[in-house]
Amino acid sequence: MTNFSLAIHGGCGVMAKLDLSEDEWIAARRDLGRALEAGYAVLSGGGHAIDAVQAAVVVMEDSPHFNAGHGAALNENGIHELDASIMDGTTLAAGAVCAARHIRNPVLAARAVMEHGDAVLLAGPAADHFAEAQGLAVEEQGYFTTERRRLALAAMKAHAAAGTRASASESEKHGTVGAVALDQHGHLAAATSTGGYNNKPDGRVGDSPIIGAGTYARDGVCAVSGTGQGEFFIRHVVGHEVAARIAYLGEDVKTAAARVIMEDLKSYDIGAGLVAVGADGAIAAPYNTDGMFRGWVTQSGQFHVASHDLVLPYEPH
Q: What is the pLDDT of residue 226?
A: 98
Q: What is the pLDDT of residue 173?
A: 58
- 93 pLDDT above the threshold of 80: yes
Partner residues linked to 306 by β-bridges: 294, 311
User: What CATH number does the domain containing 206 carry?
Assistant: 3.60.20.30
Could you give the residue ranges of the DSSP H alpha helices within 81-225?
Answer: 106-116, 124-133, 147-162, 170-173
- 169 pLDDT above the threshold of 80: no
Q: What are phi and psi of 94, to 5 degrees?
A: -150, 155
d(CA 158, CA 86): 35
Structural domain range at position 292: 5-314
Q: What is the pLDDT of residue 171?
A: 58
- 14 pLDDT above the threshold of 80: no
Q: Count of domains in the chain? A: 1
Closest CA to 223 of 296, 277, 183: 277
pTM assigned to the model: 0.95
91 catalytic per annotation: no
Q: What is the pLDDT of residue 25?
A: 82
Q: What is the pLDDT of residues 210-257, one digit of tens each?
A: 999 999 999 999 999 999 999 999 999 999 999 999 999 999 999 999
Q: What is the pLDDT of residues 170-208, one digit of tens each?
A: 555 557 999 999 999 999 999 999 999 999 999 999 999
Name the strands in the sheet holding 215-218, side by side, starting at the edge strand that comes first in the sequence: 215-218, 222-228, 272-278, 283-284
Q: Which one of 90, 146, 164, 176 is the catalytic residue?
A: 176
Q: What percent of the chain is modeled with pLDDT above 70?
A: 94
Q: What is the pLDDT of residue 135?
A: 98
